[in-house]
Amino acid sequence: MADSLHLDSKQMKAAESSGTPGSPPEDIDIFDEGVSHVAEKFRGTSADKRDMMVMGKKQVLRRNFNFITMLGFASTCIASWEGILTYLAFVLTDGGTPLLFWGFIACAIGQTLVYASIAEMASMSPTAGGQYHWVSEFAPKRMRKVLSYYSGWLTAIGWQVYNASVCFLVGTMVQGLIVLNDPTYIYKRWHGTLLSMSTTVFCISFNTVFASRLPIIEGMILILHVVGWFAIVITLWVMAPRADAHTALLEFTNNGGWSSDGLSAMIGLLAPMAVLIGYDCSVHMSEEIKDASVTLPRAIMGSVIVNITLVFVIVTTLCFTIGDQASAAASATGYPFIQVFYNATGSLAGTSVLTAIIIVMMAACAVSEVAAASRQVWAFARDGGLPGSVWLSRISPDWNIPLPAVTVTLLVSALISLINIGSTVALNAITSLGAIATLISYFLTIACVLYRRITGPELPPRRWSLGRWGLIINVAALLFLIPLIFFLSWPLTTPVKAINMNWSSTMLGGSLIIATIYFLIWGRTSYVPPVVHVKRDV
């Protein structure tokens, strides 16, 4: 014990002295605060301490997640099979059930390659920053700063928006249930917005006062994730009408008015992709995981395999039991899956219970997303990448959580829910904005690690390695991402008017312009790419 404490203080000193010469702003974050507030038992294994020392970071969060609780965290953070139900409207507009089935298989294979690439990097540098940290380590030297800065922003935008989208789903699903149960209710878009904001408020409590209970809650939610899945799969197969295989798997539809079925299918891929994005959530918790350099990659790939399997069964179930697709798409509740449940069960109570399971799971998902999104913002602010970095990188000492970052995350999601008031396709715009920003950040990261793999020097040591398959997996992942990044920003239907336009690329462009302005004025000096602190050779 005494020995390890001794080592610890030596590591601290090493970390402290490293960043100083000629670059004062990088120390704004943590080193000034002196002694760590984190108790020894929450500081992880010796491998964790070594990793933190190599990365030049101080342990300020508690390492209280293990493989199983992390699997639970990741599963709720993605809300995979629950998500595919909520995004059903996208495929019913473009592609139909065959796209849901084949598109999901294709995207699942592609994204597995992407996450394998990411898991390997997570084993090299298990840091809450994730993508932008890896970019800064592996990009060509001259471009390290700029590329990692932008990937930090892209990841931040992706997570912030994803969190907003989940709060939005919860709010509007509650509204959908009201529509179902009360025929006199008059649907107003701003009601959905207010309900989304209430979800945001709900998330505050679980990310502040109950934060230390988060791992336990994740474990319980994991059980509901599985039990709820059985409840819905069994109900649909037993009670819903059955489609024949030809209709379910081969009759592609094109209800978006696009010139070809192929184009329509590419655009509809947003639905299967939406539940295959965000498995980097565990990465942003890496400084809260025990033995992160091996637990983390395992948790990433474990959550990918488990959730792809769960979604695949739901997808197959839906293809055969959805009933009349046009009528599902036109559901007054706003959510085709609620209509499908109602037609299958013929009971308001039954439908409400099944839908409530989805709502609870998505609310749990929102809680996890706030956690992941705030950690990412916090980590990026710690390196000076965001306006207000000094404030944003603060950790509240009593709770060991990044309170300012949590607050900003909640504000952003409340603001984004306002989009719903003026747009009929808010969910589409938010989902694709989150998807594109995150996919570009994956792309940049994998491109950089590929560059390093080819040009050398050799990649850092890792306990979870792709071995000689690394090169081909990285290349295949990149080739898969290119068309998706392009098509996911398209609107679902044509002709396009202001009200049904997918404004995601405009919003992304706008955010990146803000990022650029900040970079030119302050960021150039305040942002210190994490690689500066990394000491691989010591």
Ligand X SMILES: *[C@@H]1O[C@H](CO)[C@@H](O)[C@H](O)[C@H]1NC(C)=O
CB of 326 to ligand X, least distance (A): 8
Residue (10 or 242) nearer to ligand X, CB: 242
Cis preceding-peptide flag for 404 (omega within 30 of 0): no
Q: Which position has the token pair 């799969």? A: 233
Residue type, 526: S
Instruction: Please identify, using beta-carbon distances, which residue of 72 and 323 lies nearer to ligand X.
Output: 323
- The sign of the CA dihedral 412, 414, 418, 424 is positive
Please report how close the Cβ of residue 355 comes to ligand X at its closest, in angstroms. Answer: 15
In the complex, the smallest distance separating the C-beta of residue 316 from ligand X, rounded to whole angstroms, is: 17
Q: Measure the CA–CA gap between 485 and 443, rounded to whole angstroms.
A: 9
Backbone angles phi, psi at 254, to 5 degrees: -140, 80
In the complex with ligand X, the residue whose CB is nearer, 329 or 433, is: 329
Q: Between 255 and 396, whose beta carbon lies closer to ligand X?
A: 255
Query: Min. distance of Cβ 173 from ligand X in angstroms?
Result: 17
Quick one: 167 or 177, whose CB is closer to ligand X? 177
Of residues 17 and 327, the one with the C-beta less far from ligand X: 327
Separation between Cα atoms, residue 83 and residue 362, nearest integer Å? 8
CB of 235 to ligand X, least distance (A): 14
* Contact predicate 127/57, CB 8 Å: yes
Distance CA 432, CA 425 (A): 11
Tokens of 387: 């306006």
Nearest-approach distance from CB 180 to ligand X, in angstroms: 13
| CA angle, 407 then 410 then 413, to 5° | 150
Instruction: State in angstroms the smallest separation of the CB of 340 from ligand X.
Output: 5
The answer for residues whose C-beta is within 8 angstroms of residue 34's C-beta and 6 or more apart is none
Q: Return the number of the residue (80 or 321) whose C-beta is nearest ligand X.
A: 321
217-221 own/partner pairs: CB under 8 Å, 24+ apart: 217/364, 217/367, 218/69, 218/72, 218/73, 218/76, 218/368, 219/68, 219/69, 219/72, 221/72, 221/76, 221/361, 221/364
Length of the chain: 538
Cis amide leading into 397 (omega within 30): no
Q: How far apart are CB 331 and ligand X at their closest, in Å? A: 7
Minimum separation from the CB atom of position 344 to ligand X (A): 8
State the residue number with the nearest CB to ligand X. Answer: 323
DSSP 268-334: HTHHHHHTSS-TTHHHHTGGGBTTHHHHHHHHHHHHHHHHHHHHHHHHHHHHHH---HHHHHT-TTS
Q: Closer to ligand X at the Cβ: 33 or 324?
A: 324
Q: In whole angstroms, give the CA distance from residue 285 to residue 378.
A: 11
Q: How far is the CB of 342 from ligand X (least distance, A)?
A: 7
- What is the contact surface with ligand X in residues (CB under 6 A)? 323-324, 327-328, 339-340, 343
Cα 174 to Cα 292: distance, rounded to the nearest angstrom: 37
Instruction: Find out whether 75 and 282 touch, Cβ atoms under 8 Å.
Output: no
**Closest to ligand X by CB, 69 or 97:** 97
> Among residues 333 and 400, whose Cβ is nearest to ligand X?
333
Sort strands 253-254 and 94-95 into parallel, antiparallel or unpaired.
Answer: antiparallel
Residue 363 CB, nearest approach to ligand X (Å): 26
Nearer to ligand X (CB atom), residue 242 or residue 497 = 242
CB of 240 to ligand X, least distance (A): 8
Contacts of 468 (CB under 8 A, 6+ apart): none
Helix axis angle for 426-455 and 470-487, nearest 10°, is 150
Give whichever of 222 and 328 is closer to ligand X, judged by the CB atom: 328
Structure tokens at 532: 């500066």
